Chains A and B, each alone.
Chain A
Amino acid sequence: MRTEALANLPQLRQQHPAVFRRLTWGGVLAMLVVLAGIGLLALAVWRLELVPLRFIAGLGQLAHFITLMFPPDPGPHLHLILRGIGETLAIAFLGTLGAAIIALPVALMAARNTTIHWLMRFASRRVLDGIRGIDALIWALIWVSVVGLGPFAGVLAILVSDIGTFGKVFSEALEAADRKPQEGILSAGGNGLARIRLGVLPQVLPVIAGQVLYFFESNVRSSAIIGIVGAGGIGLHLTEMIRTLEWQAVSFIILLILVLVAVIDVISGRLRAAMAG
């Protein structure tokens, strides 16, 4: 079989030149993409000074810190840390809920099938894009300058930055709504509002509720860090402990965050399954 094929090689090559081409268009393209990727990486290494030597030196330091982290121990700060975790949870809860309530009407304006005018849709989309372009941490910075230090600024930061996310996600869900029930309502003489209330929302609300639950978990993680700029929650204490090199307390806080997120993940998974079922 092998000898036969090799004997026929010139003839095969003539019949199927494409198979024997070492450089195909797809191959060249793939190579160019890879080369561009490596080039960008080289640029990053040069610009950002990602020096291996520094990396290795730092790893030693890091390993040292990690050995100091065990066992996790809150030390004298247990009360403070628990209060911080409570604040974090409260910030995430209020922020998510508030954002969902405000984002729903905005999303109705931003969705093609429920907006009142295309200009309205265009304007609300741009506003949502703008809000989403700014990280929650920057919003926290802004709100701290407005209402002062403390968890209230954190609530507002999570709330505003989530309006952007929810507005986009909700409007996509609205646009994905099945047209058939809507046509049924219009054909029975319903007006536009009836179409949205009876034809669109019943389909979409469960989807939206699921998404809100899903984002609650990610918001807990966000609200755990906005304390870095003084907007309340556990982040403030975490920064303090890291700055003062109290590694056991640091690992205790990280552990608490992990547990909190895992618990919320389980609960929200149950709730979402219950809603779907």
Chain B
Amino acid sequence: MSQALPLLPAAQLAPLLAAYARSRRAVFWRGLLVAACLVAGSLASGWMAEVDLGKFGKHIGGFFSYFDRLTRLEGGGGRVWTDPGEWFWGLRPWLVQLGDTVLMAYAGTLFGALGGFCLAVLGAANLVQNQPLRWGAKRLAEFCRTVPDLVFALLFVIAFGLGPLPGVMALAIHSLGALGKQNSELVENIDMKPVEGAIAAGASWVAMVRFAVLPQILPGFLSYSLLRFEINVRGAAVLGFVGAGGIGQDLIEAVRKFYYNDVAALLVLIILTVVVIDTLTGLLRRRLLEAR
């Protein structure tokens, strides 16, 4: 700089700096309060959840040796990828199981999406006059959304017996709740002018939904449903843990019986499936967003 910037005289400068510092201090104290809350919460939670960093330190080696064991062939000392044929010895039945898992997610999403659409429309204050009906639809969606799908699966396995049927139902019911909530936000934000136009032309309630509501929310509805499908594929992969069908059955057995190679192979297959499905639905959703 060729020339020094003129400084304010200290008498003027000091109050300005002080005022600035005062307002900053309020922000600082607020930040400190939040930090204190977080630390207190962490300490309480740590005590509650029996967090033991010493134990963690001792076992973190175990974590890496676990992955070491996962990737070492059981027969000989080599790494699994040196002998893919040996590693993926059960590829055919696993692929069938994976296919079933994806089908479970598909069926669950389909039923959930249809039900969720109905719940969203029935619960919308701008379309339905009947208040008890609306209240019922909203509460039902909330209940189905809040209870995790695995809890439903546990109950259904007892009622319907082991197998994919309770799994599909659990996914469908949880999706119904989640999609019901997301779609009701879409429905409640629609433009009401077409609705009025259709009603004034003598459209019945169903025809009004078909011609004035559905065209407005269809892209959003499909996009949310595809997203739910991605989530349900992950969910379907673990339903087998409670006996509700899919690849999870094989996985938990392999873990319980310490078949490390199988665990690794199944994890790789699950991750690959999820990544492929995410990519495909991602493409579709981008197309939908463009259409919007």
Question: How many residues on chain A are close to B (CB under 8 Å)?
Answer: 66
Majority secondary structure, B binding face: helix
A90→B41 CA distance, assembly (Å): 8
Q: Which of B49, B52, B163 contacts A49 (CB 8 A)?
A: B163
Q: Which of A41, A48, A141, A142 contacts B165 (CB 8 A)?
A: A48
Contact A40 B242 (CB under 8 A): no
Contact B45 A89 (CB under 8 A): yes
A154→B164 CA distance, assembly (Å): 26
Instruction: Give chain B residues whose Cβ lies under 8 Å from the Cβ of A134.
Output: 267, 270-271
Indicate whether A262 sits within 8 Å of B146 (C-beta atoms), given known contacts A54-B160, A146-B66. yes
Contact B150 A228 (CB under 8 A): yes
Indicate whether A258 sits within 8 Å of B147 (C-beta atoms), given known contacts A41-B107, A152-B55. yes
Q: Which of B41, B107, B148, B158 contacts A50 (CB 8 A)?
A: B107
A254 within 8 A of B: yes
Interface string of B141-166 (1 = CB under 8 A from A): 00100111011001110111101111
Instruction: Give chain A residues whose Cβ lies under 8 Å from the Cβ of B168.
Output: 44, 48, 50
Contact A254 B147 (CB under 8 A): yes
Can you name the residue of chain B whose Cβ is closest to the Cβ of A217? Answer: B146
Question: How many residues on chain B are close to A (CB under 8 Å)?
Answer: 60
Can you name the residue of chain A whose Cβ is closest to the Cβ of B99? Answer: A47
Number of A-B contacts (CB under 8 A): 176
A201→B159 CA distance, assembly (Å): 51
Instruction: Give chain A residues whose Cβ lies under 8 Å from the Cβ of B143.
Output: 258
Contact B274 A54 (CB under 8 A): no
B72 within 8 A of A: no
Stretch at the interface among A11-19, A58-66, A115-123, A172-180: A58-66
B100 within 8 A of A: yes
The minimal Cβ–Cβ distance linking A217 to chain B, given in whole angstroms, is 9
Interface string of B99-114 (1 = CB under 8 A from A): 1100110110010000
A87→B51 CA distance, assembly (Å): 11
Indicate whether A152 sits within 8 Å of B159 (C-beta atoms), given known contacts A130-B271, A135-B237. no
Contact A90 B45 (CB under 8 A): yes
Which one of A50, A59, A89 has the greatest number of beta carbons of chain B within 10 Å? A50
Contact B103 A58 (CB under 8 A): no
B38 within 8 A of A: yes
Contact B103 A48 (CB under 8 A): yes
A44-B168, A133-B275, A147-B59 known, 9 other contacts, Cβ within 8 Å: A40-B106, A50-B165, A51-B165, A129-B278, A138-B251, A142-B255, A147-B56, A224-B148, A245-B158
22 contacts between A and B (CB under 8 A): A44-B107, A45-B107, A48-B168, A49-B163, A51-B165, A58-B156, A58-B165, A86-B48, A90-B46, A94-B45, A94-B51, A97-B41, A129-B278, A130-B271, A133-B270, A134-B270, A142-B66, A145-B255, A147-B62, A229-B241, A261-B146, A262-B146
